[in-house]
Amino acid sequence: MIAAGLDSRLVGVVGDKTAKALDRAFGMETVHDLLRHFPRRYSNRGELTPLDSLPIGEHVSVVAQVIDVRERRMQRRNGSLLEVRVTDGIGTLQLTFFNQQWRARELHAGKQGIFAGKVKEYRGQLQLQHPDYQLFGADGRTRSAVEGADATEPAAEISLAHSMELNQAAALAFSERPIPIYPATAQVPSWAIETAVGVALDALGPIDDPLPPEIRSAEGVMALGPALELIHRPERAADWHGAQASMRFREAFELQLALLDRRRRTGLEESTPRPIGDGPLARFDAALPFELTGDQRRAGETISRELAAPHPMHRLLQGEVGSGKTLVALRAMLQVAGSGGQSALLAPTEVLASQHYRSFVDALGPDLAAEMNPVLLTGRMPASERKRALLSLASGASRIAVGTHALIGDGVTFVDLGLIVVDEQHRFGVDQREALRRKGAQPHVLAMTATPIPRTVALTAFGDLEVTTIRELPPGRQGIETFVVPELEMPNRAARVWTRSGEDIAKGRQIYVVCPAIAPGEPEDGDLEAPDPGTEGGDADGDRSARPLANVAETVAELSRRPELGSARIAGLHGGMPSEEKNAVMGAFADGSLDVLVATTVIEVGVNVPNAGIMIVRDADRFGISQLHQLRGRVGRGEHPGLCLLMTTAAQGTVARERIEAVAATSDGFALAEVDLELRREGDILGTAQSGGRSTLRLLRVALHGELIAHAREVAAELLASDPELERSPGLARLIASAAEAERLENLAKS
């Protein structure tokens, strides 16, 4: 048989049926894909257990001899059942195999071995279903179940007691061997993956290790072949511990090397310089009625220098809610406009795009607005307005475009697209950003996020971007007090929420009420947190799911009936509404024609109504930490301090309650980002919902391995500094240039 390589197709190694099943379940196509599907944990077979004291429900290992074998047809379904009775000289145990009559040839009376599995009870009889086992030869050595035993071989003429003693060493070694447990599906269970992995490892020929020997030696990393063997087929716990550490370093190093290489290559591309000059930016700055904060000024200077360079900027601008990132982006757009270029801001929702458009027009003032001619482009706007916007962009009459995914459409063209600004960039996949980037000749890219990013996440997901952080808030921003309102534990406090709301309305202020659903059974989007199974326990009977989620439709009706709110003007807002209706409701709230806006998370970012003083979040436990921090940032933007009330039925001690308690405990978004990282799966943080629901990270956990990630980046940077084209490491060059690696990075960038 010809030895397989890591690039070999699975179908030629594990067979057509298994290969198709692995492809359907996990997208595996090559041996490399399969062997990178690492065990998620390891189970111990357990200590050798006497048959007269087997614990039901636990995994045990027993040394026993076959007494008899019986095959019978199953009564309630097709197929046959093989029942093997074994004894250790004291007790008995039944081994059960479904549709595996062939095992009777090796498990005949007198055969001895070690049997491992989970103890179950059926009709008063203890049994192991489909146990792992290894049989003993007459010399006391174990023989694998795969090899089997010759059916004609006579039973060993030694006593069972003597055989047990003779085989203790082999039995103990078998009992200590870890069992790999793989991420699996109902169609492809863990044991089937283990079998396929074993076949692939047995077929694998010599491996060309891409990691240079000097790095392996310096970092104490196993060679790739032995590491793959020991992570999948360890003999003892120390084997998989060492192999896992080696593969984890490889994952961190390869990822950081690819990100750094991408950043380096981007810096070599040519782009049209956009110098600052004396154009619209200078006039805009001269008319500003306030001073920029120090952080805004420093961020602006950095971006300005990069826009003036002959290479495209790729920068991530992160900052606290309300720190003035949008103003920094507008100033960058005006610098690009000074050289005749156009800019496009991509926003995740129509509400946010409309808000950005209105704020740009207001900030520019009549003269600059007429000169820049900003246009709004969304998917639901009237055809006549859309046509006018497209013509303005295609002719170059408009220098600034603000829009949603509609900006990416084939019918959208620019004369000279010089800058792309992606707001709340974690809401977009890299394919969408790339589609917009291709509408220009190497345009500059500025990604923005109001969700502070922990350093380990930034290194892992955005390692190919330069990062600028704004922490300083503009002067005049009021503080925001945040309180948890446990509705079941303190019903009086819950009632007080609406009384306090009425008092604020009577003073002429406005209120946001946010719900996780549009109507009964209709969540706004897929960003809601799943309840903690068995612990959410908000209702009296402990069943959190018994009460439907708070929703916009029913909340509007409920608040309209509440006497505390008097004759308050109340309206609902959600993503499913027509554009005209959404804009009308948001406009009415912005100009003070509405007192209470009941909304979903469409108002999470960018919405600015200085007169809004209270943010009430119903079923707050169904939102993530970053969402709650974003939502409360909508208040306290005027002359009055903000108040955020997080209503919940989540019980104390649950993860859901921990999330909202953390938000109430601090207003520091960067501190909350670290808490978020600790409480949530890293796949959530890295945005795996946009990449098929599976995390692109395999062994790395950004919450646990931050130091390793940072160290791997240093090692990768040193290698690239001495060998930029990786000429001395061709294996690494091939790895990061491969289509598979490129796709993995693109998925990771969707965070």
Per-residue model confidence as pLDDT tens digits over 252-272: 999 899 888 888 887 788 999
Name which of 628, 687, 599 is nearest 355 in CA terms.
599
Distances in Å between the alpha carbon of 727 and those of 59, 464, 584, 713, 732? 51, 21, 60, 19, 9
More confident residue, 204 or 691: 204
Give the pLDDT confidence of 683-725 residue by residue, as tens digits: 444 443 333 334 467 888 877 788 898 899 999 999 999 999 9
Give the pLDDT confidence of 66-98 residue by residue, as tens digits: 999 999 888 777 788 899 999 887 889 999 998
Which structure tokens are listed for 674? Answer: 């670290």
Per DSSP, helices labelled H in 144-236 are: 160-166, 168-176, 190-203, 213-219, 224-232
Give the confidence band of 744 by pLDDT, cuts at 50, 70, 90.
low
More confident residue, 154 or 470: 470
For the chain, the distance separating the N- and C-terminal CA atoms, rounded to the nearest angstrom, is 43
* pLDDT in the model for residue 540: 33
CA 475, distance to chain mean position in Å, is 35
Name which of 292, 44, 55 is nearest 180 in CA terms.
44
Pairwise CA distance, residues 662 & 658, whole Å: 6
Pairwise CA distance, residues 121 & 208, whole Å: 49
Phi-psi region of 515 (alpha: psi -120 to 50; beta: other; left: phi over 0): beta
Give the confidence band of 108 by pLDDT, cuts at 50, 70, 90.
confident
* pLDDT in the model for residue 504: 94
Query: Residue 333: in which H helix or E strand, if any?
Result: helix 325-337
Residues 501, 504, 506, 509, Cα dihedral to 10°: -120
The three-state secondary structure class of 643 is strand
When pLDDT is averaged across residues 580-598 and rounded to a whole number, the result is 92
* pLDDT in the model for residue 151: 31
* pLDDT in the model for residue 156: 34
Pairwise CA distance, residues 281 & 603, whole Å: 29
Which structure tokens are listed for 314? Answer: 């790729």
The three-state secondary structure class of 306 is helix
What average pLDDT does the structure give for the chain? 83
Pairwise CA distance, residues 295 & 301, whole Å: 10
- Asked if residues 302 and 432 have their Cβ atoms less than 8 Å apart, the reply is no
CB atoms within 10 A of CB 170: 20
- Asked if residues 54 and 149 have their Cβ atoms less than 8 Å apart, the reply is no
When pLDDT is averaged across residues 425-430 and rounded to a whole number, the result is 62
Q: Is the pLDDT of residue 628 over 80?
A: yes
pTM over 0.85: no
Give the pLDDT confidence of 513-540 residue by residue, as tens digits: 999 999 887 765 444 554 443 333 333 3
User: 186-190, 340-344, 357-361: which has the minimum mean pLDDT?
Assistant: 186-190
* pLDDT in the model for residue 686: 44
Give the pLDDT confidence of 126-179 residue by residue, as tens digits: 999 888 887 876 444 444 443 333 333 333 333 444 444 545 566 666 667 787
Locate tokens 């501190």: which residue?
671
- Asked if residues 748 and 694 have their Cβ atoms less than 8 Å apart, the reply is no
Per DSSP, helices labelled H in 574-666 are: 579-590, 625-632, 655-665
Dihedral sign for Cα 619, 623, 625, 631, please: negative
Give the pLDDT confidence of 362-417 residue by residue, as tens digits: 999 999 999 999 999 998 888 999 999 999 999 999 999 999 999 998 899 999 99
State what percent of residues in the chain have pLDDT above 90. Answer: 47
Give the pLDDT confidence of 217-234 residue by residue, as tens digits: 999 999 999 999 999 999
When pLDDT is averaged across residues 286-297 and rounded to a whole number, the result is 92
Which structure tokens are listed for 49? Answer: 């257990």
Pairwise CA distance, residues 741 & 737, whole Å: 7
Chain length of the chain: 751
- HSE-CB for 741 with a 13 A CA cutoff: 19
Pairwise CA distance, residues 65 & 86, whole Å: 5
Give the pLDDT confidence of 659-686 residue by residue, as tens digits: 899 999 988 887 887 787 777 644 444 4
